[in-house]
Amino acid sequence: MQDSHKDSTICFNQEELRVISLKLIGANECDTLLKISEKLGQYKDSTIVAQSNIISKQEIQLAIYDTIVNKQADQIEYLGTSLEESNNKLKVFKVAFYAAASAFALSLLYIALGS
């Protein structure tokens, strides 16, 4: 490399130009890689936000499903209690019916034998 203090022109030989060219190519590659890296960072950030939104919506859905399951469990318990109460009432009714039928049959028998 020649450097003259008298003028601003710098001359490079063939080898120096080759080195400068290689450094320029390397700098361009680094700049391209930096831009790609920045885009990937933006994509990563937007992906994280999107996945966070999905997780939030799934948590809401899960809470709704839990509420539905709990309400169904309450309904099942209520219906089981109602069924048990109905069965108990039916048993009482059957006993009362058989007692009344027996009393009626005995009355008919008493009337038939007493006459």
Angle at 105 between CA 104 and CA 107, to 5 degrees: 65
SS3 category, 18: helix
Q: What is the DSSP string of 69-105?
A: HHHHHHHHHHHHHHHHHHHHHHHHHHHHHHHHHHHHH
The answer to whether 13 and 1 have CB atoms below 8 angstroms apart is: yes
Determine the pLDDT at residue 101. 93
SS3 category, 2: strand
19-72 pLDDT, tens digit each:
999 999 999 999 999 999 999 999 999 999 999 999 999 999 999 999 999 999
Grade residue 5 by pLDDT with cuts at 50, 70 and 90. Answer: low
Left if phi > 0, otherwise alpha if psi is -120 to 50, otherwise beta: which for 5? Answer: alpha
78-114 pLDDT, tens digit each:
999 999 999 999 999 999 999 999 999 999 988 888 7
The answer to whether 14 and 22 have CB atoms below 8 angstroms apart is: no
Residue 3 has pLDDT above 60, yes or no: no
Determine the pLDDT at residue 2. 54
